[in-house]
Amino acid sequence: MVLDPLSALGLASNVIQVIDFSWKLVDRGNALYKSSDGASIENREVEMIADDLSRLANRLHTSLTETEKSAMLTAGEESLRDLSKKCEVVARELITALDRLKVKKKHRRWESFRKALITVWGREEIENIASRLSALRAQLDTHVLLSLRYAPNTSAKDWAWN
C-alpha cells in the first residue's frame, strides 16, 4: 500500500498525537499513584489556594452580614458582601471538582490511570472554574481597595482579621 505524501504526513501526525496523549496519561497516572494523598501537586496547590480564598471570602461575608444587622450597608458594602458569597461558592465548586480527581480506592494503579484520564479530559472544566474564581477574586480586590480608599475615618487596623 502506497500513500501519497500528504496522507503519510497526516498519518504520522496522528500517530505522534496518540503517543503524546498516551505519554501524558501514563505520566499523570504514575504521579497520582506515587502521591501520598492521591492528588497531583498542581491540583493540591490549586485546592489549597481555593480553600484559603473560600475561608477569607466567608469571613468577609460573615463580617458584612453582622454589620448589616446593626447598621445599613452602603451599596458598595452590599456588592462586596454579595461578591464574597459568590467567591466562596465558586471556590467550593473548584474544591469539589478537584476532589473528584483524587485517587481514593485500594486498587490504586488502575484507579490512578482512570483519574489521570478523567483529569486530561476534564482539564477544561477545572480551568473554567478557576478562571471564574480568578475573575471574582479580582473584582473582590477592587471593591476592597475602593472601600479602603473611600471609607471615612477608617484605618488599616480597622480591617484586620482578628
What are the residue boundaries of the structural domains of the chain, listed by start?
A: 38-148
**Dist CA 122 CA 115 (whole Å):** 10
> Phi/psi of residue 93, each to 5°?
-60, -40
pLDDT tens-digit readout, 119-143: 777 788 888 999 999 999 999 888 8
**Dist CA 156 CA 123 (whole Å):** 40
What is the DSSP secondary-structure string of 42-110? HHHHHHHHHHHHHHHHHHHHHHHHHHHHHSPPPHHHHHHHHHHHHHHHHHHHHHHHHHTTS--SS-HHH
pLDDT tens-digit readout, 139-162: 988 888 887 776 665 555 554 444
The DSSP secondary-structure symbol of 158 reads G
pLDDT at 49: 93
One-letter amino acid at 146 equals L
Residue carrying the nine cell digits 483524587: 102
pLDDT tens-digit readout, 37-88: 777 778 788 889 999 999 999 998 898 888 888 888 888 888 888 999 999 9
pLDDT at 162: 41
Cα–Cα distance list, 71 to 41, 65, 96, 158 (Å):
45, 10, 35, 17
Task: Answer for the pair 85, 112: CB distance below 8 angstroms, yes or no.
Answer: no
pLDDT at 73: 81
**In the predicted structure, residue 12 carries a pLDDT above the cut 70:** yes
pLDDT at 36: 67
**Dist CA 115 CA 40 (whole Å):** 10
pLDDT at 155: 53
The burial class, CB within 10 Å (0-12 / 13-18 / 19+), for 92 is middle
**Dist CA 76 CA 84 (whole Å):** 12
pLDDT tens-digit readout, 100-123: 878 776 657 767 777 777 777 778
pLDDT tens-digit readout, 17-29: 777 766 676 777 6
